[in-house]
Chain A
Amino acid sequence: MKRYNEQLRTGHLLVFTAQEDRKDNFSFFFPVTGLGDLDPLYKVIEGFQCCHKKIKSLARYEFQGLAVNDIGRVRDNVPEIDEKRLCRLDLGQFIGEHGKFVKEFADTVITWFACETNIGLPALRTGSIATGTSFFDREKEKKLIWKKVTAGKSVLLQAPRRYGKTSLLKYIQQNPLTGWKTCYVDVQGGKSVVDFLETLVGDLMISEGCVSCLPPNLAQKEPWKLLSHEKSELKRKERQLIKNDWREYGSSLFADMCRDEIQVIIIFDEISYMLEDMLGSSKDAHEVEDLMEWFADARKKTKHVSFILSGSEHLQTFLRRHDIDGKIDDLVPVTLGLFADETALSLMLLLFIREGISVTEKELDGILSLMGESIPYFLQVFVDLLASECRRREALAFQDIEDLYYAQLLGPDSKRHFESIMQQLDRYGHYTRGGKEAAKRVLSYLATTKREKVSKEDLRSIWSDYEGISGEFDDIFDLMKDDFYITVDSEDHVVMTSKLIKDWWVKYAEE
């Protein structure tokens, strides 16, 4: 892994130009240092030419290679070049260990830039929501959600933490199909039905596109134009109305949504957290049950409006354990999985290119082997760490990658990245007295055991053995599955799917 030499200005430009519109073009610049680069350069040109022929979406593009003396003056020779879709690459990374052309790398960069909406490369996102070009892939899930929504269904988007649910929902909000309006509502932090409705109205008020979803009296006030204190005042008044009779307020709000016959999607993010918090704060399941029942009824009555709710994979079972019928059977479940290995490799490659780092196929495979199943968030954290170190040292040897994984990614400086996971342990303590400590024991056992197979019953007995434990293991285990990436296979074998989380827990447990 090494830093690109940004000083090199002479090289070969591979240009893909649309036959119908020459302004639609993208190109790759391979700097060269002399005649010693001729054979690898030719191999790369041939490889790209071959990809050009094979990738169907490239049929409208012509392919051409050009000698460029100074990339800074490329416009002199290629005036129509789209510099936003011009990418500097390193010749060496496209030639594998045995001198073979790395086709997968070429496919990745070509496919990425052939998409006109991809302006530039995805940027590192370690914590913030991945939006715009930085939102990567999830094509299957996007298509499925839109398919269901356009068929008049509502969706329950399920995934464990850090899988990128919010990024996907934000993408849908910002890139709706033609004719659709979207409103994004983050309900995390809400602890009551009043909070739920107030957050919804508040978010509808800030979005001009959702004016048709606001009650006429509010829409007339054009709240998105108001100053912040004016908006707060308006919200305060609405909160009072909600408090007076939330059912009537909510029903009237949802009934008004249908008046313009405009197709709308309302996205409720983090609904699981809200429900868990409602249960945690009031210890009363009735309010949750009332809300879910009323909301299910409202969904049925509301035409032209579809809903996307995001939550944990175990929302339904979690509610049932509290004797609550969530009445969410009308929601079509869409599960957001981990990135497939090929997707993770493609994303890492593009992130490193953006960071100006040349990385090889072997190094990317090495990174994946170290992390195991690639949780999008941690994948970005590790790439960020490696890119910073590589820029600082100019190059990293293969062994350095492993050393950085153990010493830095799992080290004290990265503690903040795992803090949100640790906070979940405190959450268990709030649900069940002794829950935090008992859960720690379960996790330590799961992370350190040498046994090939661990069953749920094994873990249950560890939980029960903890002195003073009172709560049900199943409740907390459902939460642990999401928070610690635990899966149970069909034979009831329990595993921590993320090697990274496992490694981190072992280190944490040692401390």
Chain B
Amino acid sequence: MNEPALSPHHRMLFSALAEALVPAGGAYPSATDADVAGAGLEIVLRARQDLVAPLVAVLDRAEDSAPLDFVRELEADNPAAFSVLTLVTAAGYFAQPNVRTAFSFFGNEANYTHSAEDDETLMELLQPVWDRGPCYRSVAAEDE
């Protein structure tokens, strides 16, 4: 498998845009804190090499713009390009261990929940439905 091709310059541009999209200041890591432009980007582009070209196209357009202004304009004017940028950013961000810990979401692991108590609750919840009785339209007897 070929490695994703993003130059250091493009990586720098992406880092600035990702930080504008996922900034510092709250209780959660920023894009920079999560190394979205490093390890996060690698994970995403290795899985989605088809995103390299459209991402580079977005980054080339961002060259001389203030990052926040650029992403706002892109969101308003070019939803398809904005979708590429934000998918890479969000997927890279949430692939990082410190982000997963912060959000207490560790991926789509097996997560089975069920108990006998749940079955009892279900039956209790259904009682009003049964009490209301059948609620379908009758058709001719031979069709039912």
Q: Do these two chains really belong together in a complex?
A: no
